[in-house]
Structures are given as C-alpha cells and as structure tokens.
C-alpha cells in the first residue's frame, strides 16, 4: 500500500472518438475525453446515456465499435481485462460468498502469484485503509451492505492498480450510509493517489466527490468541468436541468453587450451571461438556480439584479428551507428556495410579490 514515501501515481487515460454500437443503436456515440493522472473523474448521466458502457470499454469487458482507449499513452483496445491492471468495483459487490474477507481481498493477489506472506501483509494494509481491521475471518453474509462494499473496495486496490473504475458502487446503500461512504471515497482517493473513474446517475454524489465531472447524454459528453463550473455555468439546458434544479425563463433578445445579453422577459428587462452572442430578436431561454432568487418587494432595484413580478401558487416548509412555486403573468413556473428563519416572513398562496436575482447567476442556455 501507499506510505509517506511512496511514488505511486495514477494512470492517465485518453478516450478518442470512442463508439459502441449494438446493431443500429449507438450506446456511445463518439466520446473523446482526457482523464488526468491522479484525478477523480465522474461519468454522470441518466439511464441510457452511455456512461456504464464507456466504463466497461475502459475495463475491457466491452469492445469498442470504433475509436481508441489509451492508458499512459498506450492503446489497450486489444488487451484483455486481466492484462490492463485495473481495479474494478461494482454495485452488487461481486464477493465470493464461500470465501472469507481475507480470501476475497487476497484473490487478485493469488491470481498474480503473490506469496502467502506478502498476501497477508497487503490484505492487512487494505483492510486498514477501508477501516475494517479484524474483519478478515468473517464471510460476506456476516457483513452489512456498507461493510461488503468496503471489502469490494479493498479487493480492488490490494494489488496496487494505478486506475480504479467504479460502477454505481454506492447505489444499493441507504442515504445516510451512502453519504458517509462518499466522504470515505474522497479520503481513500487522497490516500492512494491513483486515478478514479466513477459512474453514477446521482448528481449530488458527483458534486460531492469529483475533481471533474463529465455529464453524458445520448452517448455523448454534454459538458465536462469542475463541479462548481457545471453548476454555476451550465453549457446547455440539459446540463442545467440535470445537475441540480433550475428555472428556465423564455425571453427575446433586445441587445448584446459583450458577454451580457439584454432580453425582454415577462414584460421586464432581464440580463444574463452568454458564451456565444445571440442575434437581436432571437427567442432564447435564460436559466437561474432557485436558491439564487429572493423576494424583493421592499428592496430598491439595481443594475446587478434582475426582477420579475410573480404570484405565489404553492408554499412548502421543508425544515431548513421554504420552497415556493411561483407563476409569472404568462403562467411560467418559477421555484424559489429561501432559508427558513423566524425573522423571515412566510409567503401565502395567492400573494403577489416581486423576485430578484443576480445578473451573474443568469445564464443563457
């Protein structure tokens, strides 16, 4: 295992125009992605987006229809899985029920011809890393779901791979345990210094754990970037809607000032940021997050904020937040999330109000 003087580092992975077709259906439709050495990269997307198929091709369990997979600059497309030296963790753990924890973890070492004494040492270190010392003589049936997943993790890292692939590894666990293991995954990644490629459909999980996220849709990468980049600056309506919750406001372009678009929206002038300037008179959609909005009936207007008149159609108290469903004059729905406080006046259904939110948090999608 890794210690303070270890030179272990993660593998760099390059996917180039990667495709996987089943007859006329493209499960993966031209994915190009550079994954850096030691990075924690998550493939995030809905069911059928191609994320698991991409992972299986990296692992060698699926053959690409076209394109290339290179690990540290060497193509591995022609290599079987066992020659790629990649660790793999599945959602269903895939532990051998008739073997003890020690034998499960030591299995890949035995397959590689590692001596019994060295196996014992490496298995003990792996158990320490996943916080299960003393569990070596137990069987999988004697462990909780979370403990079984830790054993699966230990087995995947015991032979010191430079690349670890994980396919929805926390999907079968309850919410509290899943959140605890997310933080442990981050710790384990920092301890090992190897490259993690992680597949999930859970947006919060991806935001919590990843150095970068590749959002996939219909077999392609819709956007790749750091979690805060994807959340604050989504490049498309799909990304804005899939990561977190977003409000979408239809508008018509009035003018463009540098990277700021000025538009008519619900009888008001609204400004937003744009990557590519739209044409004057063009119909567009502006996006903002519910938590970036606030009620602003008594606040003075300023050029850094957008404002709209709304009617409260639903008000839900959710503990630390109040969630309001609002309607504009033409019936467009807006969600506003406001921190709950005894000093903040609750709004009533049917009440008319004005909402405000920063221009900097308004994105053309």
The predicted-structure confidence for 46-94, as pLDDT tens digits, reads as follows 999 999 999 999 999 999 999 999 999 999 999 999 899 999 998 787 8
Q: How confident is the model over 271-286, as a mean pLDDT?
A: 92
Number of Cβ atoms within 10 Å of the Cβ of 344: 12
Cβ–Cβ under 8 Å, residues 340 and 322: yes
The tokens of 215 are what?
A: 């959002």
pLDDT computed for residue 266 by the predictor:
85
Domains 13-239 and 245-364 share a fold: no
pLDDT band, very low/low/confident/very high, at 8 (cuts 50, 70, 90): low
Coil, helix or strand at residue 310: strand
pLDDT digits (tens, 9 = 90+) for 228-269: 999 999 999 999 999 989 999 999 999 998 899 999 998 899
Q: What are the boundaries of each domain within the chain? A: 13-239, 245-364
Cβ–Cβ under 8 Å, residues 19 and 26: yes
| First-to-final CA distance of the chain | 46
Mean pLDDT, the chain, as a whole number?
91
pLDDT computed for residue 4 by the predictor:
39
Q: Is the pLDDT of residue 5 over 70?
A: no
Q: Please spell the DSSP secondary structure of 263-300, one letter per residue.
A: EEETTEEEEEE-SSPPPTT-EEEEEE-GGG-EE-TTSP
d(CA 41, CA 225): 9
**Rounded to 5, what percent of the chain is helix, strand, coil?**
25, 35, 40
Q: Is the pLDDT of residue 214 over 90?
A: yes
The tokens of 338 are what?
A: 């406001």
Q: Which CATH class is domain 245-364?
A: mainly beta
Q: Considering the domain 13-239 in this protein, what is its CATH number?
A: 3.40.50.300
Torsion of CA 171, 175, 179, 184, to 10 degrees: -60
Closest CA to 9 of 42, 39, 43, 41: 39
Tell the residue number behind the tokens 């992680």, with chain if given: 198
């Amino acid at each position: 295992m890794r210690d303070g003087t270890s030179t272990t580092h993660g593998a760099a992975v390059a996917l180039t125009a990667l495709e996987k077709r089943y007859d006329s259906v493209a499960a993966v439709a031209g994915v190009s992605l550079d994954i850096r050495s030691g990075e924690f990269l998550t493939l995030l997307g809905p069911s059928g987006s191609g994320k698991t198929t991409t992972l299986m091709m990296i692992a060698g369990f699926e053959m690409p229809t076209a394109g290339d997979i290179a690990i540290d600059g060497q193509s591995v497309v022609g290599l079987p899985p066992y020659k790629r030296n990649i660790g793999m963790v599945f959602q269903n753990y895939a532990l051998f029920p008739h073997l003890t924890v020690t034998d499960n973890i030591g299995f890949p070492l035995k397959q590689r011809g590692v001596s019994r004494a060295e196996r014992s040492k490496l298995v003990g270190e792996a158990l320490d890393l996943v916080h299960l010392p003393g569990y070596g003589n137990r069987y999988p049936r004697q462990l909780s779901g979370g403990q079984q997943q830790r054993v699966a993790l230990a087995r995947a890292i015991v032979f010191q791979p430079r690349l670890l692939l994980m396919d929805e590894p926390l999907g079968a666990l309850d919410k509290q345990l899943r959140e605890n293991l997310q933080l442990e995954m981050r710790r384990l990644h920092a301890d090992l210094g190897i490259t993690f490629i992680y597949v999930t459909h859970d947006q919060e999980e991806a935001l919590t754990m990843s150095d970068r996220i590749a959002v996939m849709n219909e077999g392609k990468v819709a956007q790749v970037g750091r979690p805060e980049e994807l959340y604050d600056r989504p490049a498309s309506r799909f990304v804005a809607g899939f990561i977190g919750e977003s409000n979408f406001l239809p508008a018509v372009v009035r003018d463009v000032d540098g990277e700021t678009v000025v538009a008519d929206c619900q009888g008001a002038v609204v400004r937003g940021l744009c990557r590519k300037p739209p044409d004057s008179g063009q119909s567009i959609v502006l996006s903002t997050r519910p938590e970036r909005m606030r009620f602003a009936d008594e606040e003075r207007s300023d050029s850094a904020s957008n404002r709209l008149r709304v009617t409260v159609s639903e008000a839900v108290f959710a503990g630390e937040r109040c969630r309001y469903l609002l309607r504009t004059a033409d019936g467009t729905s807006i969600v506003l999330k406001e921190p709950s406080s005894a000093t903040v006046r609750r709004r009533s259904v049917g009440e008319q109000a004005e909402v405000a939110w920063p221009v900097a948090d308004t994105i053309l999608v």
